[in-house]
Amino acid sequence: MRSLAVLLSLSSVALASWTKNLNYRSPSEHHPGMGISLHKVNKRNDPSTAFTPSQLNFTHGVASGDPYSDSVILWTRVAPISLNGSNVDSNSTVSGYVPLYNHGPKQVSTAPVCVQFKVAKTSDFAEVESSGTAYTSSDIDYTVKVEASNLTAFTRYYYQFNVCGSNNTSVLGRTKTTPAKNDYTAEVGLAVYSCSNFPFGFFNAFGNPVRKDSVDYVLHLGDYIYEYAGNGDYGYGYSINRVPTPERVIFTLLDYRERLATYRTDLDLLASHQNYPWIAVWDDHEVADNTYRDGEADLNNTEASFVKDGGVAVDQRKMNAVRAYFEWMPIRQVEMDDNLRIWRSFSIGSLFDLVMLDTRQYDRSITDLYWNTEYVHEISNDAGRSMMGSRQENWFYSQLSDSAARGAAWRVIGSQTVFSRVNESVAYGNVDPLDYDAWDGYQANRNRTLNHLYQNNIGNNIVLSGDSHASWVSDLVWLDHANYSSSSGAGSVGVEFAGSAVSSPCPYGQNISLNSANNYSSWLVGANSELQWNDLYYRGYFELRISYDEVNASFFGMPTIINRNPYEISLANFTVKSGANALQRPVAGGVVESGALKSGKVVQTNATNSTDTGTWFVSLDNEEDL
C-alpha cells in the first residue's frame, strides 16, 4: 500500500502551484490520499469551464498571520459570483458579503481558480520580494493560504492577490515579520483579544489599534466565532442587524464555513486582519460550548443530546470545525501529521518567546458540562488531569526551559482560560466556588507549570488569557507553596493579564450597571490575595508593550458596541519591571478607571451608562459560558 500511495501522488507540472495553497495539503502533503484529491481538482481545470476574472470576486478581504523572521502566512478568499447573483445570502440581515452555502447533500465542484500574490516593502510594489501562484476551489471554500518567504526580519510588508493574468485584485494588505531569533529589538507591541460574539455587538475593539496604528501583531486567545443559533437566542441579533448565518446551531463543515464567512463581514475585524499579522488559537466555541478532548456541554450521554447534536458525531463535528478554522484562519499547521495541533511557539528576537497553548481541543480531560460541576470539582485536584495532554505539557515545559536557557528576556504564554485561582463564591456559591472549566479545574496541571517555573528559577513570565469576558490582573503565584505578599508581590513568578471580551457579555449579567459590576469586582479583589485588579463591566481588549526593561499593559473598554464606533476608554495601565516577577507597586499607579483595585482607587473620568439595551440577563447558576 505504501508504494501505491507514492505512485498515486500528483506528478503534474502544476504540483508546485497546487501545493502552494496550504489548505490543499492538510493533513499532510506526505499523505496525498488523505487530503483533498488534487487529481480530481486538476481534472476540473478545464479552460472551457474556467471562470473568467470578471466572474470572480475577493469576498472577504485579506489576512496574514503566524509571522516568522523570514516568512508570513497570507490569506484571501476568491469565489465565483454566480451569474444569477444568488450565491449571496439575500436573507441575511448582516450587511456585507455572506456567501450562500448549499447545505443540500450534493456539493457542486467547480473549476479551480488561479491567483497570484506579491509582497514588497512599499505599497507600490516597486521591488517585489516574494511572489507566487496558487489555486483554490470549492473543495476548500475558495480560500487561499500561502506562505510568503524570502522576507527580511522585523520589517513591514505590503501584499496583494490578483486573479491570474488579470488586474482584478484583492484589497492591499499590510503585515510584519518578526525579529530574527537572537536579534535585539527595542520594543514590540501586541493587541490581545478573546471572545468575539457577533450577535452581541460590533467588533469595534479590533479596529482601534488599526486606527491608532499602535501595535505590531495581534493575538486572539479564542472564541473567535460562536456556534450558537444565529437568531439572537442570545444577544441583540436582529435589533442590531447582526444575525450570523446559518440561523441555527452549527454542525457541518458548510455550517462552520458559513459562520466564519458571516463573522468575517465585520468591518473592524476585516481591518485588523488587513493591517496586522494575527497569531490565533481556538478556545471552545470554535467547535462548541465547553469542549474537551471527547465532548462538549450539550452532550449528556442521553439519546436526546445526541439527536440535538445535529446527528453529527462529536468527533466528526470537531473535525468539521477544525477544518473550517484552518481554511479561514491565517495560521500555520506546524505538524502536518497532527492536524488537531495548533499549539506552537514564536521566538521574537532575544526579547521574548511566545508560547501559544491549546488547553481546549487537543487533549483536555473532562470539564465542567454544567450537570457535572460537583463531580469535576471533586476531581479537580487529581494528579492525572491535564488541560493539554502529556505530549503538549512536556513540550510546554521544555519551551519555558529553552526560552530561559537561550536568554530571551521574557516568556509570554497565551492561554485560553484564566490561569490564576479565582474564588467566585460571590457568584457561584460556597459549594463549587471556582470556575472548573478554567485552570481551577486542573490544579495538578497548573501546579506542574508553576513547579517548573519555581524549581528552575525561570522568571519574567507573562500569562495572557481570555475566555472569561472580564479583566483579571494578578501576580502569578503558587498559592500555599510560595510565601506570597499581596502588598509587595514577593513570592510571585510573573504576572497574569486576562482580558475582557470583544463583545461577549459580562459574566455577571449582560445588563449589569456600572455600580453593581464594580461592587462584584470589590468582592473578588477582596477575596483573592493575588488578584490585584478586576473589571467586569467593560467589553474591550488590552495592548502589551514589551521591552527589555519592562512590560506595559494598557486595558481599554468600549463605551458602546451596539453600533460601529471608534471610541474607547483607558481603563488601567500596568507595569512589570524585568526581574521583579510581579506587578510594579503601586499597582496601576494607584488609580484605575473602573472595576476594583486592591490597593488604590477607582476614579471614573469616563464612565458611561450601560451600553446594553437588551433585557436578557445571564443567570449565575449554571450559566452557559457564552
Among 211, 58, 285, which Cα is nearest to 564's? 211
Which CB, 33 or 566, lies closer to ligand NAG? 566
Question: For residue 113, which of 41, 37, 27 has the smallest C-alpha distance?
Answer: 41
- Is residue 199 within 8 A of residue 242, CB to CB? The reply is yes
Smallest gap, in angstroms, from Cβ of residue 339 to ligand NAG?
A: 29
Q: Which is nearer to ligand NAG, 8 or 128 (CB)?
A: 128
Least distance from ligand NAG to the Cβ atom of residue 537, Å: 11
Gap between the Cα atoms of 583 and 612, Å rounded: 33
Alpha carbon of residue 32 to chain centroid: 29
**In the complex, what is the shortest distance from the CB of residue 481 to ligand NAG, in angstroms, rounded to a whole number?**
6
CB of 59 to ligand NAG, least distance (A): 5
| Between 165 and 407, CB nearer to ligand NAG | 165
What DSSP designation does 138 have?
A: G
Residues 345, 355: contact at Cβ < 8 Å?
Answer: yes
- Is 596 in contact with 602 (CB distance < 8 Å)? yes
- Least separation in angstroms between residue 165's CB and ligand NAG is 8
Tell me the torsion sign for CA atoms 373, 379, 385, 387: positive
Least CB distance to ligand NAG at residue 8 (A): 30
Q: Minimum distance from CB of 446 to ligand NAG (Å)?
A: 7
CB of 82 to ligand NAG, least distance (A): 4
Closest to 259 measured CA to CA, from 372, 141, 423: 141
Distance separating alpha carbons of residues 399 and 262, to the nearest angstrom: 36
- Residue 354 or residue 476: which is nearer to ligand NAG going by CB? 476
- Phi and psi dihedrals of 501, rounded to 5? -85, 155
**Cβ-based nearer residue to ligand NAG, 381 or 563:** 381
Closest residue to bound ligand NAG by CB:
97
Cα–Cα distance measured from residue 354 to residue 352, given in angstroms and rounded to the nearest whole number:
6
For ligand NAG, the closer CB: 38 or 544: 544
Look at residues 536, 510, 555 and name the one whose alpha carbon lies nearest to residue 595. 536
H or E element that contains 384: none
Q: How far is the CB of 342 from ligand NAG (least distance, A)?
A: 27
Minimum distance of ligand NAG from residue 455's CB (angstroms): 13
**Who's near 273: CB < 8 A, 6+ residues apart?**
61, 62, 63, 64, 75, 264, 330
- We find the least distance from the C-beta atom of residue 412 to ligand NAG, in angstroms, to be 21
Q: What is the Cα–Cα distance from 595 to 616, expressed in whole angstroms?
A: 22
Enter the DSSP assignment of 34: T
* One-letter amino acid for residue 315 of the chain: D
Q: Hey, what's the cell of 537?
A: 463591566
Shortest distance, position 407 Cβ to ligand NAG, whole Å: 29
DSSP string, 470-492: SEEEEE---TTTS---TTT-TT-
> Minimal distance in Å, beta carbon 376 to ligand NAG?
14
If the CB atoms of residues 28 and 425 are measured against ligand NAG, the closer one turns out to be 425
* Per-residue burial over 546-582, b = 16 or more CB atoms within 10 Å of its CB, e = otherwise: bbbebbbbbbbbbbbbbeeeeebbebbbbbbeeebbb
Residue with smaller CB distance to ligand NAG, 6 or 603? 603
Q: Are strands 352-356 and 410-415 parallel, antiparallel or unpaired?
A: parallel
Cell numbers for 202, please give them. Answer: 460590533
Strands laid side by side in the 113-120 sheet = 128-136, 113-120, 156-163, 173-176
The owner of cell 487529581 is 382
Binding site for ligand NAG (CB under 6 A): 54, 57, 59, 81-82, 84, 86-87, 89, 91, 97, 100, 129-130, 150, 166-169, 298, 300, 302, 304-305, 308, 371, 381, 383, 423, 425, 430, 433, 443-444, 447, 478-481, 527, 554, 567, 569-573, 591-593, 605-609
Q: Which is nearer to ligand NAG, 217 or 428 (CB)?
A: 428
Residue among 227 and 353 whose Cβ is closer to ligand NAG: 227
